[in-house]
Amino acid sequence: MGADFEEIRKLFPVTEKFTYFLANGKSPLPKPVADAAHEMIDTMMNSGIVATRLAGPMVNETREKVARLIGCDAGEVAFSRNTAEGILWLAQSIPWQEGDEVLMTQHEYPTLVYPFMAQQHYGVRTILVEQDDRRITPEVIRAGITDRTRLVAVSWPQFDTGQRCDLKSISTICHERNILLLVDPIQCLGSIRLNVRDMNIDCLCAGTYKGLLGLTGLGIFYCRRSLLETLRPVHVGWASLEKQLDEEYSTNSYEFEPAREARRYEEGAKNHVGIAALNAALDFIEEIGVENIEARVKELTDYLCEKAEAKGCKIVSPRQGDEWSGIVLMRLPKQDPYKLAEELREKLILVHAMRNCLITGVNFYNNFEDIDRLLFYIKAD
């Protein structure tokens, strides 16, 4: 397939109807991914429980592909229902001590915050630090750390600014102090390169329905093997054990030995339709090349920012260095962004408004004509 993005765009039927700038909310399904999901449903319809057995190798293959994408071992990957469930797995498995602190910044997405607030009955405190211009920097994180900080959690990028923080520097700060680093990269995993080994990330949780081009109802959970060995899994079931049940479902004895790998969190029956879709999506992404997707998103968002600024818009999202992402917030010179977003929807141009800004979520299936069409309706200063 290479990186012929106009040909690739044809595999996204949504582009025939909408000018779609909601990649930061939900990715449209490319045809190969939808086909894979339909095929799995057909197999279930025609084969019943046989489909579950047939899906086993596909599940293992998908786990391997996730590991290849993020740079870890397949044994460090589990399938969750969504981002929040993966975060809960970690939050409920850490052997907390009263007075432990979880550090994150003010204005984080609630999914990252609430699972740790729910640990307050263990005496865990969630600390939200303020930052200038909502930018997360290593200095902000360093300043918020105390001798009780146990874990730092960040989104990558931030949903309300589009900023990608310096994960590698933040990781160094954390590990110098024996602090864990949790990352939620749902917004750009699959469209911007991320390697958990290079960035020294301890745990990663992300749903598959944004950058990974998959379905809702499925997430990926990465946990560094050495961390996994220290956790106390709370969510367990028959599929969580090191020794899998045989066909007899013997109940003569219950040998409770959780699996030594991340799959210990997969309590029971899996979302085979979602995993089949993810399997196809990972093939699709790998064939194009994440580095090519990243370059395309950068090219498109640079064009958007340049043309928007020429009309008098103020770009609120960081664009310097490696802080940019496909999320671009712009302050309009003359119009109310909330009203404009509604007007644009009537014209089948899908955008969002927040923080008194118009927000665009750009991905590689967009093109320059999409951007020109959007900008046509923004009144110049």
Domain hosting residue 306, numbered range: 5-29+290-376
Averaged over 275-280, what is the pLDDT?
99
In-domain check, residue 46: yes
d(CA 293, CA 190): 8
**What is the number of domains present in the chain?**
2
Q: Which of 253-257, 284-288, 342-346, 353-357 has the lowest mean pLDDT?
A: 253-257
The tens digit of pLDDT for each residue in 233-266 reads 888 898 898 887 655 556 677 888 889 999 999 9
Question: What pLDDT sits at residue 1?
Answer: 44
Q: What is the CATH number of the domain that holds 345?
A: 3.90.1150.10
Q: Are 296 and 310 within 8 A, CB to CB?
A: no
324-361 per-residue burial string, b: 16 or more CB within 10 A, e: under 16? bbbbbbbebeeeebeebbeebeeeebbbbbeeebbbbb
Same domain, 185 and 43: yes
Same domain, 295 and 197: no
Averaged over 265-270, what is the pLDDT?
93
The tens digit of pLDDT for each residue in 44-57 reads 999 998 988 889 99
In-domain check, residue 346: yes
Question: What pLDDT sits at residue 321?
Answer: 94
Of 237, 258, 286, the one marking the end of a domain is 286
Q: What is the CATH number of the domain that holds 257?
A: 3.40.640.10
Of 269, 286, 303, the one marking the end of a domain is 286
Rounded to the nearest integer, the mean pLDDT of the chain is 95
Of 231, 253, 286, the one marking the end of a domain is 286
Same domain, 123 and 194: yes
Same domain, 344 and 282: no
Single-letter amino acid, residue 306 = E
Same domain, 121 and 90: yes
